[in-house]
Structure 1
Amino acid sequence: MSVLHDIRVLDISRVLAGPNATQILADFGAEVWKIEALWGDEARTWGRSSFAMINRGKKSIAVNLAEPRGQDIIRALAKKADVAVENYKVDNLKRFGIDLKSLMTLNERLIAVSVTGFGQTGPNRDGLGYDMVLQAMTGLMSLTGDPDRPPARVGVAIYDIMLGLNAAIGILAALYERKTSGKGQHIDVSLFDVGMSSLLGVGTAYLNEGRVALRQGSLHPTHVPVQPYQASDGLILVAVGTDEQFARLCSAIGCESFSTDPRFQTNAARMANRVALEELLSEVLGTKTRQEWLDIFMAKRVPAGPIYNVGEALEHPHSKARNVVWTFDDGGKPLHVLANPLQHMSRTPPKPTSGAPRLGADTLSVLMSQVGLTEEEIEMLVRDKVIGVAQPDPAPAEAPDSGSR
């Protein structure tokens, strides 16, 4: 039996950050009611595999939130839910009467999660939350890229991913606390807060020393050598963090004299003579293939790895051994998604049950079982465009503005 089999989640979020949080719960067996507009979550336009990556195993319920009868459906589901997650602009759902504060008055055990760009308080609370905007504003982009080039974003929506993880942790902590108190609580989590916490050492260096870190490309700000080098057939990353590791590197490449050279004996000395050391190492490392060096470095316990593209990483034998890809049947065709990284838990691993649902595929079953609607009532609501049970193509009705991607 899945560890969260008795948890029901009212998921009023869409695109990436919120759905990523509820996806984690779904992987562990929670029943996730994914509320979608009649025309579907914007993420459906990304393609089946991308949508399935953050919506597998959920139940899709198409509801027009701007319609009073649609709002009644949300309230009815909130009474049955353990968790509710939304990622609209701050206070935007109030005009529909389905903001989380209102839903919590209907169910004192409800754990209500607001996912936004900047949080529920502060001067930027009404700002639009996009991962790249927050990467810029929290200083991450100022640290990413080469020093002689403009700042660059991280290659994936890293803050959306981190926010989903933090929201899921908060939900699980609140569920644990509820066992004692019997009460739910509100969780306010934002891309901004997640981004600021991710600064780690460069953040504390400024706070305690007034030192502002600058981007250095692939160089490490405090250790040498930590950077890519060109082997004869591709790039390899060397990541030496201690003097002992540097000595092992020098032995591995047949240049023991480097480790006794006063310019390179200590990390501080290597930092001061980084350019000279880079030239020497580049000349040596260019003499063998990437795999030849990797075999040598593994045997000599030197921290290093190949710089792969995405395809090379996914096709690597270790990826196969760790089962990093899950495959579902999608209308008779295989649909591949990236696996939950917790799949190797010894007793209660996540157990995905299906790929992403079709839009409105579960409207009928959930509203009959949880809300108590009859088939006749559902037919009327479908006719009036309050709910959807299949892919419709309606003119967009008024809908809340997004607060976080």
Structure 2
Amino acid sequence: TLENVSKNYLPQIGINAQATYQSDVTRLNIDQSSLPFKLNVPSVNKDQYKATVDVSQLVWDGGATSSQKKMAIANSEVNKQRIDVNLYAVKDKVNQIYFGILAVDEQLGIIGLTEKNLQSNRDVVISMLKNGVAMQSDADLLDVELLSLDQNRITQKALRKAYLQMLSLFIHQPLADNVELEKPLETNLSFGNISRPELQLYASQMEALKTQNYAIDAKNRPKLALFAQGGYGRPGLNMMEDQFKLFGIAGVKLSWNFGGLYTKKNEQKLIDANISNLQIERETFLFNTGLELTKEQSEIQKMKDLLSKDDDIIRLRARVKSSGESRYKNGTYQMNELIRDINNESLARQTKALHEIQYLMNIQNYKQIQGK
């Protein structure tokens, strides 16, 4: 993490201890035969002991810490953008569920209208039946249609409940079965503009790849550090003094590893290749997104054209139904024909309702594809 990288310049402290036994030690071989007196030449024991405290302070690491900070920031941004991309996918699913609920609500509303229409005609049939000018089978036909509507209502309510449960899981909020959802308002679209989170992800990935060049340069630069060592052992710094002694060392250390120069060019080529692949991936994404926008724009226009005809179809279907109701009362129309006219009007209203929901959904899909 960035916080850990920032601690690279803190002093490093370590404690070490060791005990060794050597097969041989340093000796002073002096020929004393020609000397008038005998020298006492010290020797070192083969068993040696040492305990030290080592302290080092990095002065300059060739820019390695700076490059690590840049990489940590870049990688953090990449992870953040990945989360945004995942949330974008979740938002798309939420939109589908939301408009699914709106479509079910429209269906339930039309079921209610159709039911009133059928019930009104049933009341007429019952009245005619009492006067002996209608048959029981006509009332039975209407009852069958009403029962079918009840079945359809049960199915739609169950579907709505399932959609609400899924939506509740996505938004982490409980939703009552009778909750009412508002239709989104029709808004003007700005065609062509793309601001998807994937583009930000590509940009952050590009930046993360570029920061790797800083790391390559840094590891091929020299490093400078201060160090100090204090300890206690036998022997001390004087190897010929076979006694336990305190000792200390301090200094400056310069290190430069040239091994990375052998692979530097290939590593940079690999980074350039990854950047090039990422650019191709980005351009492909923009192209495919442009195709999706074109398709969705065509769907929006298609729904507009269909909606412009729906009102006329409903008006004509209603007129045919009214005519059928009058003809039935006059005894020149069969009940099954009237039911067909009622269902056709209902179907026309359902079609318009679905076109409206689909039109609004297409607009939302277009904005979703744009990233708005």
TM range (shorter): under 0.3
TM-score between the two structures when normalised by the length of structure 2: 0.23
TM-score by length of 1: 0.22
Computing the radius of gyration from Cα coordinates, the structure with the larger value is 2
